[in-house]
């Protein structure tokens, strides 16, 4: 019987339903890294797992079983919410076991500990300490200074790929003063970016533990049905296959192309026709090089109504009204609505249009997405729907070079709150990188901010599928 199995006869762990956790083999491997302070003599370890595998709960379980040691441990997480998840695991497991509970009694009132959900540091009478930091990339200097001011021989970097390179380097410095003594540096997470996480993946000094969805299915962590459903979601390769993005698909800041020029070329057609419904997206512009654009989209086909430098919102509205009147004489399908970007100068266009047209919707794409767990905002969600339609060739585009603006749209995954979410590069950052405003692309994107009629039939089912099933080994909010 190995050390971990012996400890698991002493320590018991329960999930939120009060059921005893039966750790699977992959989770035991993670726990063993903590128990044994490394593996095969290596003090640098990288652990790559699918999302929702229960990696953070396994880390917390291993730490609880070391609580009799006089040791100082640091956990650096991508956000304060993620850091709190790990600490919540640790506190709950410590209070459920008599040994750590007794060691805590002389240090803190246990009732107070149960109620305190903002704790970042916990110490035991044995001299064992756990401290968590949030590696908030929005304030790199303050975060880096806080981390560098605290040395520790045992450091865990959770959801490591989403931690900035600069902050990771400062996190690594925590163990520098302990390099001649016992130390451990563990990186754990999903391979979102080709950054420091990829370097340590290929570093022979790091022991690599890689667990993908195939192993997770065998262990009973996932069902085949859930995996098949997940294939239709963003970032399946990263989140479940545990694969790094291709080298030509992501830059040093983690940005990838939403669509390639080949993707767009594949859906360009001449003399196309549409069916199902008709939506109109309007992207107004002010003075300068930008264009006022209106795009119409059916279920299967989209084309540009006009792309002109119209500086007057009244002329813009008149242009739309003339197009609508002409449409009555040529087609049976009339627009179900007009979606207008009302941010900034667009507000005036929106107010003018709604006086003369029905079903005009002013859109702020910076607002929360409908499925807010997956996307930073409505713009990211709408662009991702557009991407899916083009990738699967459900949408054809009238042959026009302006559609190649879509190849300039970039996305990446960012750690926001407790989860990784899709973000689309802002217009401001695009301009800073010398990319022209994607007027035509944005107008088409606006037709996706509201569910299509055919999608509303399945919308409730889709939203319900986003709710994770209860995980016997980890709370549902673990990413």
Instruction: Please report, for the domain that includes residue 54, its CATH number.
Output: 3.40.50.300
The better pLDDT of the pair 111, 451 is held by 451
Percent of the chain surpassing pLDDT 90: 57
**pLDDT-derived band of residue 222, with 50, 70 and 90 as boundaries?**
very high
**pLDDT-derived band of residue 390, with 50, 70 and 90 as boundaries?**
very high
Phi and psi at residue 89, to the nearest 5°: -55, -50
Evaluate whether residue 352 is within a structural domain.
yes
**pLDDT-derived band of residue 215, with 50, 70 and 90 as boundaries?**
very high
Tens-place pLDDT, residues 154-200: 999 998 988 878 888 888 988 887 877 789 999 999 998 888 999 99
Q: Which of 82, 65, 68, 70 is nearest to 30 (CA)?
A: 65
- What's the average model confidence in pLDDT over 391-395? 95
The better pLDDT of the pair 133, 466 is held by 133
**pLDDT-derived band of residue 106, with 50, 70 and 90 as boundaries?**
low
Evaluate whether residue 132 is within a structural domain.
yes
Evaluate whether residue 455 is within a structural domain.
no
Same domain, 156 and 280: no
Tens-place pLDDT, residues 398-452: 999 899 999 889 998 887 766 778 999 988 888 877 777 899 999 999 999 999 9
Q: Which of 358, 359, 279, 357 is nearest to 318 (CA)?
A: 357
Domain span at residue 232 reads 3-249
Same domain, 208 and 269: no
- pLDDT for res 435: 78
- pLDDT for res 303: 96
Same domain, 261 and 228: no
Last residue of a domain, one of 220, 249, 278: 249
Question: Is residue 475 a contact partner of residue 52, using CB atoms and an 8 Å limit?
Answer: no
Tens-place pLDDT, residues 52-67: 899 999 999 999 999 9
- What's the average model confidence in pLDDT over 13-34? 93
pLDDT at 232 over 50: yes
Tens-place pLDDT, residues 280-318: 999 998 655 578 999 999 999 999 999 998 778 999 999
- pLDDT for res 471: 37
Question: How far, in Å, are 9, 34, 423 from residue 56 at the CA level?
Answer: 21, 12, 24
Domain tally for the chain?
2
Please write down the HEC assignment for all residues of the chain: CCHHHHHHHHCCCECCCCCECCCCHHHHHHHHHHHCCCECCECEEEEECCCCCCHHHHHHHHHHCCCCCCCEEEEEECCHHHHHHHHHHHHHHHHHCHHHHHHHHCCCCHHHHHHCCCCCEEECCCCCEEEEEECCHHHHHHHHHHHHCCCCCEEEEECHHHCCHHHHHHHHHHHHHHCCCCCEEEEEECCCCCCHHHHHHHCCCEEEEECCHHHHHHCCCCCHHHHHHHCCCCCHHHHCCCCCCCHHHCCCCCCEECCCHHHHHCCEECCCCCCCCCEEEEECCCCCCCCEEEEEECCCEEEEEEEECCCCHHHHHHHHHHHHHHHHHHCCCCCCEEEEECCCCHHHHHHHHHHHCCCEEEECCCCCCCCCCCECCHHHHHHHHHHHHHHCCCCEEECCHHHHHHHHCEEEEEEECCEEEEEECCHHHHHHCCCCCCHHHHHHHHCCCCCCHHHHCCHHHHHHHCCCCCECCECCCCC
**pLDDT-derived band of residue 13, with 50, 70 and 90 as boundaries?**
very high
- pLDDT for res 418: 63
- pLDDT for res 148: 64
Same domain, 419 and 300: yes
pLDDT at 237 over 70: yes
Residues 6+ apart with CB under 8 A from 225: none
Of the given ranges (95-109, 147-161, 387-401, 453-467), which has the lowest mean pLDDT?
A: 453-467
**pLDDT-derived band of residue 125, with 50, 70 and 90 as boundaries?**
very high
Last residue of a domain, one of 227, 249, 271: 249
d(CA 202, CA 241): 18
Instruction: Please report, for the domain that includes residue 315, its CATH number.
Output: 3.30.420.240
Most confident of 258-262, 276-280, 282-286: 276-280
- pLDDT for res 170: 86
- pLDDT for res 291: 87
- pLDDT for res 440: 95
- What's the average model confidence in pLDDT over 123-152? 75
Lookup: tokens for 14? 């329960």
- pLDDT for res 119: 75
Same domain, 147 and 261: no
Tens-place pLDDT, residues 311-331: 789 999 999 999 999 988 876
Average model confidence (pLDDT) across the chain? 86
Last residue of a domain, one of 249, 279, 307: 249
Q: Is the pTM of this model over 0.85?
A: no
Evaluate whether residue 458 is within a structural domain.
no
Evaluate whether residue 433 is within a structural domain.
yes
Tens-place pLDDT, residues 324-379: 999 888 767 899 999 999 988 889 999 999 999 999 999 999 999 988 888 999 99
Same domain, 185 and 76: yes
pLDDT at 68 over 90: yes
Beginning with the edge strand found earlier in the chain, give each strand of the sheet holding 301-308 in spatial order.
268-269, 396-398, 301-308, 292-297, 279-283, 337-341, 360-363
Evaluate whether residue 98 is within a structural domain.
yes
Evaluate whether residue 136 is within a structural domain.
yes
Same domain, 355 and 376: yes
- State the burial class of residue 387 (Cβ atoms within 10 Å of its Cβ: 0-12, 13-18, 19+): buried
- pLDDT for res 1: 64
Evaluate whether residue 468 is within a structural domain.
no
**pLDDT-derived band of residue 44, with 50, 70 and 90 as boundaries?**
very high
- What's the average model confidence in pLDDT over 93-102? 92
pLDDT at 21 over 80: yes
Question: Is residue 448 a contact partner of residue 341, using CB atoms and an 8 Å limit?
Answer: no
- pLDDT for res 113: 67
């Amino acid at each position: 019987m190995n050390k971990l199995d012996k400890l698991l006869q002493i320590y018991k762990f329960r999930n939120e339903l009060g059921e005893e956790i039966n750790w699977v083999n992959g989770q035991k491997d993670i726990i063993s890294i903590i128990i044994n302070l490394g593996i095969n003599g290596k003090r640098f370890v990288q652990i790559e797992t699918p999302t929702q595998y229960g990696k953070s709960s396994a880390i917390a379980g291993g730490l609880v079983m070391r609580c009799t040691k006089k040791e100082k441990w640091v956990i650096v997480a991508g956000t304060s919410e993620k850091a709190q998840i790990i600490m919540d695991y640790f506190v709950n497991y410590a209070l459920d076991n008599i040994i750590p509970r007794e060691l805590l009694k002389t240090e803190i009132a246990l009732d107070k500990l149960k109620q305190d959900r903002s704790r970042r540091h916990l110490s035991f009478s044995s001299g064992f300490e756990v401290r968590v930091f949030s590696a908030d990339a929005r304030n790199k200097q303050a975060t880096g200074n806080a981390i560098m001011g605290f040395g520790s021989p045992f450091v865990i970097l959770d959801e490591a790929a989403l931690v900035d390179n600069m902050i990771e380097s400062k996190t690594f410095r925590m163990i520098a003063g302990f390099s001649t003594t016992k130390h451990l540096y563990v990186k754990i997470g999903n391979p979102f970016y080709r950054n420091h996480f990829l370097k340590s993946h290929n570093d022979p000094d790091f022991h690599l533990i890689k667990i993908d969805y195939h192993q997770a299915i065998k262990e009973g962590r996932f069902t085949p049905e859930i995996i098949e459903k997940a294939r239709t979601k963003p970032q399946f390769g990263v989140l479940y296959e545990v694969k790094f993005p291709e080298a030509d698909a992501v830059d040093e800041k983690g940005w990838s192309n939403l669509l390639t020029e080949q993707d767009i070329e594949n859906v360009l057609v001449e003399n196309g026709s549409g069916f199902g419904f008709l939506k109109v997206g309007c992207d107004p512009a002010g003075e300068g090089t930008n264009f006022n654009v209106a795009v119409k989209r059916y279920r299967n086909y989209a084309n540009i109504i006009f792309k002109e430098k119209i500086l007057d919102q009244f002329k813009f509205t008149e242009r739309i009204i003339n197009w609508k009147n002409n449409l009555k004489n040529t087609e049976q399908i009339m627009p179900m609505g007009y979606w207008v970007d009302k941010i900034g100068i667009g507000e005036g266009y929106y107010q003018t249009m709604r006086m003369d047209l029905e079903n005009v919707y002013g859109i702020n794409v910076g607002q929360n997405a409908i499925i807010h767990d997956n996307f930073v905002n409505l713009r990211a969600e709408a662009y991702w729907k557009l991407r899916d339609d083009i990738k699967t060739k459900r949408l054809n585009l009238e042959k026009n070079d302006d559609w190649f603006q879509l190849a300039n749209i970039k996305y990446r995954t960012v750690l926001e709150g407790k989860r990784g979410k899709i973000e689309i590069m802002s217009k401001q950052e695009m301009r800073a990188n010398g990319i022209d405003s994607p007027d035509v692309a944005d107008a088409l994107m606006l037709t996706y901010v509201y569910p299509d009629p055919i999608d509303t039939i399945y919308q409730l089912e889709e939203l319900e599928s986003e709710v994770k099933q209860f995980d016997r080994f980890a709370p549902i909010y673990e990413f």
